[in-house]
Structure 1
Amino acid sequence: MRFTTADEPTGDDLAAIEAEWPQIAAERDLVDAECRLLADPADALAKRSHRRAVSALLHLMVQRLNHDAGNAAPVYMLTNFGPADAAEAA
């Protein structure tokens, strides 16, 4: 099989991969943490690693949503993904 330059990724392809790399890395870290947790559900460090991986991925997703929302019509920004205040929950 012979490869040509047409088989190579373009600059736009590489830029798209580079832009998505933080999410790819966060998802990979989450899978690693899930594997550790499944291997030993009682491991406190595995639980902590899983919580951090989930938090990092959620934070990244919120950042992306906020960035994408900034390019669209005005909307409420998602910034606080912690527990709701008692007054807000009522």
Structure 2
Amino acid sequence: MSINAPEEPTPGDLAAIEAEWPQIAAERDLVEAECRLLDDPADALARRAHRRAMNALNRLLVQQANHDAAQAAPVYMLTNFGSADPADAA
């Protein structure tokens, strides 16, 4: 009986991890700030670190949402709807 060694990550897996790394790092920073804040809720620096970590994560998520929206299919607007008068349509 042989034990199969775990598979190494593929280049695609590594690229996906690299693409997600900014979000992973921002979430890690937020957890660290939350732990610091829980340790001493009265610490003004801990509150500031938590606020900054939240803002950084929110900015990153907005940036990602804007990027994803820019990659979506274009939206075409109809500009000539014709007459708005029902009598003209008849």
Provide runs of 4+ in structure 1 moved above 6 Å.
none
CA offset at residue 73 of structure 1? 4.1
CA offset at residue 3 of structure 1? 1.9
CA offset at residue 65 of structure 1? 0.1
Matched, 1:58 2:45: no
Q: Find the structure with the greater CA-based Rg.
A: 2
Structure-1-length-normalised TM-score:
0.76
Inter-partner Cα distance in structure 1 for 2:73 and 2:54: 29
Inter-partner Cα distance in structure 1 for 2:73 and 2:60: 21
Provide the residue aligned with 1:27 in structure 2. 27
User: Can you give the 5+ residue segments of structure 1 that lack an aligned partner in the other structure?
Assistant: 76-90
Partner amino acid, structure 2, of 1:3: A
User: Can you give the 5+ residue segments of structure 2 that lack an aligned partner in the other structure?
Assistant: 76-90
1:8-55 per-position Cα deviation (integer Å, ceiling 9, x unaligned) = 100000000000000000000000000000000000000000000000
Provide the residue aligned with 2:40 in structure 1. 40
Provide the residue aligned with 2:10 in structure 1. 10
Identity score, percent: 73
Inter-partner Cα distance in structure 2 for 1:25 and 1:11: 21
